[in-house]
Amino acid sequence: MAEPASVAAESLAGSRARAARTVLGQVVLPGEELLLPEQEDAEGPGGAVERPLSLNAGARSRVRVVCGPGLRRCGDRLLVTKCGRLRHKEPGSGSGGGVYWVDSQQKRYVPVKGDHVIGIVTAKSGDIFKVDVGGSEPASLSYLSFEGATKRNRPNVQVGDLIYGQFVVANKDMEPEMVCIDSCGRANGMGVIGQDGLLFKVTLGLIRKLLAPDCEIIQEVGKLYPLEIVFGMNGRIWVKAKTIQQTLILANILEACEHMTSDQRKQIFSRLAES
């Protein structure tokens, strides 16, 4: 029994130090350590070696690496914290580094600064609204965080209203804070969502898929019925069509498209267009 146990331990230890460039698009497991090629001018061409990803780079390093969801800093290493596919986005400058994250199918949302989300107002507490965003605790929203809001001109926000806003404070040690204005003080589409329409929840992976610039699903849905739609990075979607029947059809399609192939979607859209 000792020999198989030692072999399993060695294989597990070896699997925790894999080169990130060789596992892009593949499944990674919690506890794995990612390795990236050394990219410093001192090595010269062809001198790249694999090493644990250093996030506390010195003054000589010109590579900036951003950790996304599913990855965690541990000293000068980068560890995987959840199961999923490893993704990478190159920086605009093309100088190496970029953004690494783990794409996984999960429904529990963890607030991230800058994310646009759909929340539900649950309470009023003085000048602060408490908003349910699907996280571990409600977010706070000041009445001054709306376009044109002043002490005399307060926004008409009631308990139960849907709010589309973004996070300006989101970390594990502080209560999340939302606003409904951008850096220029403009609403830019944020604020209270209309009373009509339907709100439903999907996985976070589907939200990222629908918000991709080359997503064909939204283009096909837009050709089917005239609609209004709002996506929240917390897995919530609000949709409104001309009739209740059309609204329910669109909601069912968006919920099911995560598990449908392109051919299956085209068959459904063709049948709906003929009916």
125: β partners: 128
More confident residue, 118 or 66: 118
Same domain, 176 and 210: no
Q: What is the mean pLDDT of residues 205-228?
A: 87
pTM (two decimals): 0.72
CA distance 166 to 182: 9
Q: For residue 222, give the CATH number of its domain.
A: 3.30.1370.10
Domain holding 74: CATH number? 2.40.50.100
Percent of the chain with pLDDT over 90: 31
Within a domain: residue 7?
no
pLDDT digits (tens, 9 = 90+) for 119-136: 999 999 888 999 999 988
Judge if 186 and 202 occupy the same domain: no
The last residue of a domain, from among 155, 190, 225: 190
Band of residue 12 on the pLDDT scale cut at 50, 70, 90: very low
Identify whether the C-beta of residue 142 lies closer than 8 Å to the C-beta of residue 121: no
End position of a domain, from candidates 190, 210, 225 = 190
Q: What angle do CA 267, 271, 275 make, to 5 degrees?
A: 170
Is residue 50 one of the residues assigned to a domain? no
Is 68 a residue whose pLDDT tops 90? no
Q: Which domain holds residue 31?
A: 16-38+62-101
> How confident is the model over 250-271, as pLDDT tens digits?
999 999 888 888 888 888 888 8
Phi, psi of 241 (to 5 degrees): -115, -175
pLDDT for residue 40 is more than 60: no
Strand boundaries in 180-265, DSSP class E: 191-192, 198-201, 227-231, 236-241
Domain endpoint, select from 141, 158, 190: 190
Mean pLDDT (the chain) is 80
> How far apart (Å, rounded) are the C-alpha atoms in residues 122 and 161?
8
| pLDDT at residue 151 in the model | 86
CATH number at residue 150: 2.40.50.140
The mean per-residue pLDDT over the stretch 214-229 comes to: 88
| 34 within a domain of the structure (yes/no) | yes
Instruction: Provide mean pLDDT across the span 181-209.
Output: 89
What CA–CA distance (Å, rounded) separates 61 from 228? Answer: 46
Instruction: Write phi, then psi, for 52 (nearest 5 degrees).
Output: -60, 135
